[in-house]
Structure 1
Amino acid sequence: MHELILLRHAEATPHGKDGKDDRERSLTEHGRSEARAAGEWLSEHRIGYDRVLCSPSERTKETAALALGQVEPDYEDRIYDATVGELYDVLDKNWDAERVVLVGHNPGIEQLVAFLVEGRSEDYRGMPPGGIARIQFDGALSPGVGKLTVFWSPPN
C-alpha cells in the first residue's frame, strides 16, 4: 500500500506586500500556528513518511519545517505553481517511496485530491491553508483509484 499525504502551505502574507516576489511570501503568525497544528496532528496520529517533496517557496519551506520538524525535504521547483499533471508527474517519479508527503499550493493541491480520488481535475475548492489530505493506494498511482482516508484542517 502506498500512502500520500498532501499538505497545503499554511496562511501566508498577502501577495504584493513589501514588494516581495510571490515565492518570497512568508507565513503569518496565524499561519505558523496552522503549520504547528498540522505537525501536532501528524504526530498524534503517528503518521510517518519516507520522503518529503516540497515547493521551494518560503511559505512552503516554513510550513514543512513547522509541521514536519527536522526532516530535510527534497525541494522540487515543479511543485510551485504546478498543474495537476505536473504534480502527478512528480509523484510518479517518486513512487518508489512507500509514504510521501507533498507540501504545495492551491489550486494544484486541491485539484490533485480530486484527480487521484475521483478521477477528475477540474476546478475543485476545499483545501484550506495548512490542510492535510491522506490518500492511500492499493497498487499503482493512477487517477480515480486513491482512497481519501483523512481530510483535516487546522482549527481557526
Structure 2
Amino acid sequence: MRELILLRHAHAEPALVGQADFDRPLSPHGMAEAEAAGRWIAEQRLVPDRVLYSPARRTRETLEAVLAITGYVEQRLEPSIYEATAGTLIGLTDAHRDVDRLMLVGHNPGLERVAALLHSGRTGDYRGMPPAGVAVLTLSGEGPVEPGVATLSAFWWP
C-alpha cells in the first residue's frame, strides 16, 4: 500500500497593499494550526518519506512548522503545486510513486479536488479542505495513479 498525504497551508495574513498573494505569510493563528497539524501527523505516525511543496510563502511556513515537530524528511520545491489543478497533482503523485508515503503541501481548490478525484473519480464530490487540513489517501495497487484508485483513510483539521 502507498499513502498520499495532502496538507493545505494554514491561515495566512491578508495581502498588504502591493503584496503578491504568493508572498503572504502565516498569521499567528495559522502558525498554531500548522503546529497542531504537525502534532497530529506525528501522533498518527504518518511522517512522509518525501514532501513536495508549493513555493508560496504560506506553504513553506506551514511545512516548516510541521517538520519541526515530525522531524525533517526529504523535501522538494515543486512550483507547479501553486495554482495546480487536480490533474497536475495526480501527475506529480504518479511521478513519485516510488515513494511509500508522499506528502503534497499546497492550496485549494487543487487539494480538495484531487482528494475527491482520487477517492470517487469525480472532482465535483469535493466538500472542502480547511486551512491546515490533512487528508490521507491510501492508494491501491502498484499501477499508475488514476481517478478512483484511493480510499480516504483519514481526514483531520484544527
Normalised by the size of structure 2, how large is the TM-score?
A: 0.92
Q: Cα 1:123–1:147, aligned 2, differ >3 Å: closer, same or farther?
A: closer
* Secondary structure of 2:148 counterpart: coil
Q: Is the 8 A contact 2:48 2:73 kept in 1?
A: no
| Structure 1 residue identity aligned to 2:6 | L
- Which residue does 2:50 correspond to in 1? 51
The separation in 1 between residues aligned to 2:154 and 2:25, in whole angstroms, is 27
Q: Is the 8 A contact 1:106 1:127 kept in 2?
A: yes
Instruction: Pick which of 121-130 and 93-102 moved more.
Output: 121-130
Q: How big is the shift at 1:49?
A: 1.4
Structural mapping, 1:31-70, within 5 Å: 31-69=30-68, 70=72
Per-residue deviation, residues 103-142 of structure 1 (Å, max 9, x unmatched):
0000000001100001002373410000000000121322
The separation in 2 between residues aligned to 1:75 and 1:120, in whole angstroms, is 28
- Which residue does 1:145 correspond to in 2? 149
Normalised by the size of structure 1, how large is the TM-score?
A: 0.93
Q: Does 1:6 align with 2:6?
A: yes
Q: How big is the shift at 1:28?
A: 0.3
* Secondary structure of 2:122 counterpart: coil
Instruction: Pick which of 41-50 and 116-125 moved more.
Output: 116-125
Taking only aligned residues, the RMSD between alpha carbons, in angstroms, comes to 1.3
Q: How big is the shift at 1:88?
A: 0.9
The separation in 2 between residues aligned to 1:111 and 1:104, in whole angstroms, is 12
Q: How big is the shift at 1:57?
A: 0.5
The separation in 1 between residues aligned to 2:111 and 2:126, in whole angstroms, is 10
Paired residue total = 153
Per-residue deviation, residues 88-113 of structure 1 (Å, max 9, x unmatched):
11111111111001000000000011
Structural mapping, 1:1-156, within 5 Å: 1-14=1-14, 16-69=15-68, 70-71=72-73, 73-122=75-124, 124-139=126-141, 140=143, 141-154=145-158
Q: How big is the shift at 1:48?
A: 2.2
Q: Is the 8 A contact 1:65 1:71 kept in 2?
A: no
Q: Is the 8 A contact 2:49 2:100 kept in 1?
A: yes
Unmatched segments (≥5 aa) in structure 2: none
| Structure 2 residue identity aligned to 1:99 | R
Unmatched segments (≥5 aa) in structure 1: none
Q: Is the 8 A contact 2:12 2:58 kept in 1?
A: yes
The separation in 2 between residues aligned to 1:44 and 1:87, in whole angstroms, is 26
